[in-house]
């Protein structure tokens, strides 16, 4: 039977799920094809409405604002009676078949209802979307699959050479944050943390742990030196030698430490033997004990 728009919606909610919501032209054409062509009253209420003349038309239930390019009948919507805030669809054989018209909500029309196919088990991590004779899942960020049941992973990360890696979760799923730390004697080049984004990429590149570099050693006067590693970096040991006829004051080797400093000062090569003696450690005097009878 015919009823007002409010009565029609209540009847749909009591006997089905709600008044029909049309989401695209294909669904509109499908509804037109299955509804009976009533000669005397070929008008049916659909779930498109608004509360005020300046509001946008919205579909009940999902607040969608979809309106097709050719959905409205010619010269519609016209708000002819000032308060035409509900919408009917024409089901007839004329040129307006399948078109919409704004109408006063108190007028009596036939209702078009739908039975929901979505339930709590339809989508694991996402929202269920009603389609023609089926459903579709709109997955939340970080999930995929026909039921949004699969966690989206970023590419696995390996710990940097000469460093360590710790992540907030066991895998590489979305929102996982990984922190990097370099071993003593190495500094980080890049970001300290990266986060797995919904598009399956990390928020930044994996950093690199570079060896600490000590201050450059100047050339030794009257001598030379050679180092175990190029660049005088962490753990590099430099050995010094004086030319023939010169004596060394200081250590013959220094090593680049984790703090970026050498383990000692650079030695000096001198020809002054007296100067060398001043730097020699003094020996303790020994006492000779003589056994007496």
Average pLDDT over residues 278-284: 54
Most confident of 29-38, 85-94, 247-256, 281-290: 247-256
pLDDT, average across residues 1-13: 95
Distance spanning both ends of the chain, measured CA to CA: 143
| CA angle, 55 then 61 then 67, to 5° | 50
CATH number at 223-278 = 2.10.70.10
287 alpha carbon, distance to own chain's centre: 80
CB 96 within 8 A of CB 103: no
25 and 15 Cβ atoms separated by less than 8 Å: no
**Which band of pLDDT confidence, cut at 50, 70 and 90, is reported for residue 247?**
very high
Q: Is residue 103's pLDDT more than 80?
A: yes
Q: Tell me whether residue 8 is exposed, middle or buried, using C-beta atoms within 10 angstroms of its C-beta: 0 to 12, 13 to 18, 19 or more.
A: buried
CATH (residue range 5-114): 3.10.100.10
d(CA 21, CA 118): 14
pLDDT for 224 equals: 95
Average pLDDT score over residue span 258-262: 96
Query: Measured between alpha carbons, how far is 35 from 12 in angstroms, rounded to an integer?
Result: 16
Tens digit of each residue's pLDDT (9 = 90 or more) over 48-83: 999 988 899 999 977 788 898 889 999 999 988 788
Whole-number pLDDT of residue 293: 43
Q: What is the pLDDT of residue 289?
A: 45
The 3-state DSSP class for residue 237 equals strand
In the block, tokens 């999930």 appear at 143
Average pLDDT, the chain: 89
Q: Is the pLDDT of residue 288 over 70?
A: no
- Indicate the pLDDT class of residue 280, thresholds 50, 70 and 90: low
Structure confidence at residue 170 (pLDDT)? 79
Q: Distance between CA atoms of 195 and 175, rounded to whole angstroms?
A: 6
Domain residue extents for the chain: 5-114, 163-211, 223-278
CA–CA dist 214, 103 (Å, integer): 83
**Predicted pLDDT at 277:** 56
Question: Which residues on adjacent β-strands are paired with residue 253?
Answer: 239
Coil/strand/helix, residue 3: strand
User: Does the pLDDT value for residue 282 go beyond 60?
Assistant: no
Report the alpha-carbon distance of residue 161 to residue 183 in Å, rounded. 9
Angle at 232 between CA 228 and CA 235, to 5 degrees: 60
**Rounded percentage of the chain residues whose pLDDT exceeds 90:** 66
* Higher local confidence (pLDDT), 128 or 40: 128
Confidence of residue 141 (pLDDT cuts 50, 70, 90): confident
Q: Is the dihedral of CA 27, 30, 36, 39 positive or negative?
A: positive
Comparing 94 with 164, the larger pLDDT belongs to 164
Residue 130 in contact with residue 137, Cβ under 8 Å?
no
Tokens of 122: 């339809």
Does the structure show a pLDDT above 50 at 38? yes
Higher-confidence position of 279 and 148: 148
Whether a cis peptide bond, with omega within 30° of 0, leads into 218 is: no
Which residue did the predictor score with more confidence, 57 or 37?
57
CATH number of 163-211: 2.10.70.10
Q: What is the pLDDT of residues 146-193, one digit of tens each?
A: 999 998 899 999 999 999 999 998 789 889 999 999 999 999 999 999
pTM of the model: 0.55
pLDDT computed for residue 23 by the predictor: 87
The edge-to-edge listing of strands for the beta sheet with 253-255 is 223-227, 237-242, 253-255
Q: Please identify which residue in the block is written with the tokens 């728009």.
A: 5
């Amino acid at each position: 039977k015919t009823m007002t728009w409010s009565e029609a919606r209540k009847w749909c909610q009591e006997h089905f799920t709600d008044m029909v919501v049309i989401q695209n032209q294909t669904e509109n054409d499908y509804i037109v094809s299955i509804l009976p062509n009533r000669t005397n009253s070929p008008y049916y209420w659909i779930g498109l409405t608004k509360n005020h003349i300046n509001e946008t038309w919205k579909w009940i239930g999902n607040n969608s604002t979809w309106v097709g390019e050719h959905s409205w009948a010619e010269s519609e919507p016209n708000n002819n009676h000032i308060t035409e805030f509900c919408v009917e669809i024409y089901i007839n054989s004329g040129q307006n078949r399948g078109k919409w018209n704004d109408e006063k909500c108190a007028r009596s029309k036939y209702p078009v209802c739908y039975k929901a196919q979505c339930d709590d088990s339809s989508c694991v991590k996402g929202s269920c979307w009603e389609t023609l004779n089926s459903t579709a899942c709109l997955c939340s960020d970080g999930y995929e699959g026909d039921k949004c049941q699969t966690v989206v992973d970023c590419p696995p990360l390996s710990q940097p050479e000469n460093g360590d890696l710790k992540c907030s979760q066991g895998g590489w799923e979305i929102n996982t944050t990984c922190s990097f730390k370099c071993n003593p004697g190495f500094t980080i080049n890049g970001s300290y943390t990266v986060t797995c984004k919904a598009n399956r990429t990390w928020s930044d590149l994996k950093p690199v742990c570079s060896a600490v570099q000590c201050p450059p050693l100047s050339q030794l006067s009257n001598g030379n030196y050679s180092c175990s590693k190029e660049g005088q970096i962490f753990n590099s040991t430099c050995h010094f030698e004086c030319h023939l006829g010169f004596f060394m004051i200081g250590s013959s080797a220094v090593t680049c430490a984790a703090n970026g400093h050498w383990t000692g000062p650079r030695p000096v090569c001198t020809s002054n033997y007296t100067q060398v003696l001043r730097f020699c450690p003094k020996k303790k005097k020994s006492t000779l004990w003589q056994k007496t009878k």
